[in-house]
Amino acid sequence: MRVLYVAAEVAPFAKVGGLGDVAGALPAALSRLGVDVRVALPKYRGVPAGLAPVGEFPVSVGGAERPCTVFAGRLPAAEVPVYFLGHDPYFDRPGVYGEGGTGYPDELERFVFLSKAALALGPAVGWVPDIVHANDWHTALIPASLRSGDANLPAKSVFTIHNLAYQGRFPRERGAALGLNAVGLGAVVRDGEINLLQGAIRTADWITTVSPSYAREILTQGEGLEGELQARRNALTGILNGIDTAVWDPERDPHLWAPYSAVDPSGKRENTRHLRAELGLVETGGPLVGMVSRLAEQKGFDLVIGGFERMMALGIELVVLGEGDPRYAGFLQNAERRYPGRVRAILGFSEAWAHRIEAGADIFLMPSRFEPAGLNQLYSLRYGTVPVVRATGGLRDTVRDCGSDPERGNGFTFEDYTAEAMLGALGRAVRLWRGNPAAWRRLVGRGMAEDHSWDVPAREYHALYERVLAR
Ligand code: ADP
Ligand code: GLC
């Protein structure tokens, strides 16, 4: 079985959020199961230099032929081949999607290029896929092109929705860029505009999303596409994301100050101490709460803003690592000034700080408005950092509240999207941390003992590929 896995982000080469983590890890897990899987992504500026070009072919975008140069590499610590699809006018830029919070204006053309180049790659590299597995709107043209025949490739398609909020919507006039025939175009046009995600939902042989709860939720809260999803509900599966347990391993994490494990958790305290010292946080006798997140509405920053003073009145310290919406960044900067020594905002993207916060914090806060899967709560569990999350999507599927059964829970959850509800859950966490250190240690131990590796989900994808090929 030959599977081409296509995504706009693949860690460690290009990462903005969890899509990159998934695309960098799932193919490796599939390959361990014996699947001949290969990965394709754009050759961004950040991609390692010195790769040899292995082929070149033209890709038509909006009627103009654009050369695609293919460079071959591999996923680190895996045998999985990676094809970097190069076209410098589109991809030799500082950002993946844009710069300074503004998207590149030619994002449609850039990702049409990615989708078409991935579909045309086979002859150039001497390997033709049976299944093309596409992800999110950037590659949503792939199922439509396969279905309409525009791609001229007899492959099946699997399409994964990582986030329904980004649909690839463009004015109808720009539809010429897609190069679709009437069949394909019919699938992508919605209310007089281009909606690439709708196209993939209508035409993919199978649709997956990244948690069972999100798969259910989007049938009624589907950002306008619920009807389309209902129509395909028999070909829609929620498969919970896993995590890369080699990259996220507190025993072997090169970013940490001290290694630790469930057996010997003492190193965690070292990391907390260093984190405080490096960030100039003074120890106030409360727990250290961490957040690592895109600064986007999805992630619940409105609750943090609304409940901020009451949050600080719980006696916590807070460190936030994030990049995105200037509105949230501005609030965090201001909060840091108002609470010197108790609040730190690291504004930017830093792999090292993401790992250090996961290791050094006592509590990880994720009050998401919606969350298709969420990876940070899983990293937190593995790093002995107790997650406090809103029960939505993948957060609902992975975090069990301690309130209902203190000796079975692995974190704290709240239902309503309100600052009060968030403060309730955070308050319960802080009280347990202060009042019952032994119960807290058991709670931490339970989280660290859980297995969220890709082994199980990779088997589910493998079984799905077999079903799709047999249809
Ligand atoms: P999403 O994909 O919606 O952003 P996830 O929880 O699935 O949410 O994944 C987010 C990923 O991006 C995690 O690996 C997290 O560590 C990383 N991340 C988010 N913001 C930053 C940042 N500012 N610096 C470094 N890593 C970040
Ligand atoms: C999206 C979602 C996030 C998910 C990630 C990887 O960015 O917002 O919840 O974990 O994709 O699937």
Question: Quick one: which of 123, 118, 105 has its CA closest to 59?
Answer: 118
Residues in contact with ligand 2 (CB, 6 Å cut-off) = 17-19, 22, 162-163, 210, 241, 371-375, 394
The amino acid sitting at 98 is G
Determine how many CB atoms are found less than 10 A away from the CB of residue 88. 11
> What pLDDT, on a 0 to 100 scale, did the predictor assign at position 270?
98
Contacts of 429 (CB under 8 A, 6+ apart): 287, 363, 386, 388, 411, 412
Residue 250 lies inside a defined structural domain of this protein: no
Ligand nearest to the CA of 394: 2
Alpha helices by DSSP H, listed for 339-436, are: 351-360, 376-382, 393-398, 419-435
Residue 358: phi and psi, rounded to 5, are -55, -40
Residue 363 to residues 209, 359, 443, Cα–Cα distance (Å): 28, 10, 12
CA neighbours closer than 13 Å in the CB half-sphere of residue 393: 26
Residue 171: phi and psi, rounded to 5, are -60, 145
Is 375 within 8 Å of 358 (Cβ atoms)? Answer: no
Residue 261 lies inside a defined structural domain of this protein: no
- Co-location of 213 and 303 in the same domain: no
> What pLDDT, on a 0 to 100 scale, did the predictor assign at position 50?
82
Q: pLDDT in tens for each of the 471 residues of the chain?
A: 999 999 999 999 999 999 999 999 999 999 999 999 999 999 999 888 788 899 999 999 988 999 999 999 999 988 899 999 999 999 999 999 998 778 999 999 999 999 999 999 999 999 999 999 999 999 999 999 999 999 999 999 999 999 999 999 999 999 999 999 999 999 999 999 999 999 999 999 999 999 999 999 999 999 999 999 999 999 999 999 999 999 999 999 999 999 999 999 999 999 999 999 999 999 989 999 999 999 999 999 999 999 999 999 999 999 999 999 999 999 999 999 999 999 999 999 999 999 999 999 999 999 999 999 999 999 999 999 999 999 999 999 999 999 877 788 999 999 999 999 999 999 999 999 999 999 999 999 999 999 999 999 999 999 999 999 998
In the reported structure, the alpha carbon of residue 17 is separated from the centroid of ligand 1 by a whole-number distance in angstroms of 4
Report residue 376 as tokens.
């940070």
> With the CA atoms of 10, 12, 13 and 18 taken in that order, what torsion angle do they form, in degrees rounded to the nearest 10?
40
**C-alpha of 421 from chain center:** 25
- Co-location of 180 and 290 in the same domain: no
- Co-location of 466 and 444 in the same domain: no
- Co-location of 310 and 407 in the same domain: yes
Does 20 contact ligand 1 (Cβ within 6 A)? Answer: no
228 CB-contact burial (10 Å; exposed 0-12 / middle 13-18 / buried 19+): buried
407 CB-contact burial (10 Å; exposed 0-12 / middle 13-18 / buried 19+): exposed
- Co-location of 10 and 112 in the same domain: yes
Is 91 within 8 Å of 110 (Cβ atoms)? Answer: yes
Residue 221 lies inside a defined structural domain of this protein: yes
**C-alpha of 376 from chain center:** 9
> What pLDDT, on a 0 to 100 scale, did the predictor assign at position 298?
97
In the reported structure, the alpha carbon of residue 298 is separated from the centroid of ligand 1 by a whole-number distance in angstroms of 12
Report the nearest atom of ligand 2 relative to the CA of 17.
7
Domain that holds residue 352: 267-449
- The secondary structure element, H or E, covering residue 269 is helix 266-279
- Co-location of 291 and 385 in the same domain: yes
CA distance 448 to 382: 4
| Sheet of 206-209, strand order | 53-61, 64-74, 81-86, 36-42, 2-6, 131-135, 156-161, 206-209, 236-238
> At which residue do the structure tokens 């961490």 appear?
290
Residue among 376, 398, 399 to mutate when testing ligand 1 (max atoms within 8 A of CB): 376
DSSP states along 19-34 = HHHHHHHHHHHHHHTT
- Co-location of 220 and 273 in the same domain: no
CA distance 360 to 29: 29
Ligand nearest to the CA of 328: 1
- Co-location of 82 and 208 in the same domain: yes
Report residue 319 as tokens.
């460190």
Residue 24 lies inside a defined structural domain of this protein: yes
CA distance 131 to 112: 19
In the reported structure, the alpha carbon of residue 429 is separated from the centroid of ligand 1 by a whole-number distance in angstroms of 23
How would you label 73-84 residue by residue, b for 16+ Cβ within 10 Å and e otherwise?
Answer: bebeebebbbbb
Is 287 within 8 Å of 430 (Cβ atoms)? Answer: yes
- Co-location of 218 and 300 in the same domain: no
Residue 254 lies inside a defined structural domain of this protein: no
Residue 405 lies inside a defined structural domain of this protein: yes
> What pLDDT, on a 0 to 100 scale, did the predictor assign at position 198?
98
Report the nearest atom of ligand 2 relative to the CA of 298.
8
CA distance 260 to 268: 6
CA distance 402 to 439: 10
- Co-location of 428 and 384 in the same domain: yes
| Sheet of 386-390, strand order | 343-347, 317-324, 288-295, 363-366, 386-390, 412-414
* Overall domain count for the chain: 2
Does 375 contact ligand 1 (Cβ within 6 A)? Answer: yes
Residue 42 lies inside a defined structural domain of this protein: yes
CA distance 178 to 191: 17
> What pLDDT, on a 0 to 100 scale, did the predictor assign at position 200?
98
Residue 258 lies inside a defined structural domain of this protein: no
CATH code, domain with 102: 3.40.50.2000
CA neighbours closer than 13 Å in the CB half-sphere of residue 422: 26
- Co-location of 383 and 284 in the same domain: yes
- Co-location of 440 and 461 in the same domain: no
> What pLDDT, on a 0 to 100 scale, did the predictor assign at position 46?
83
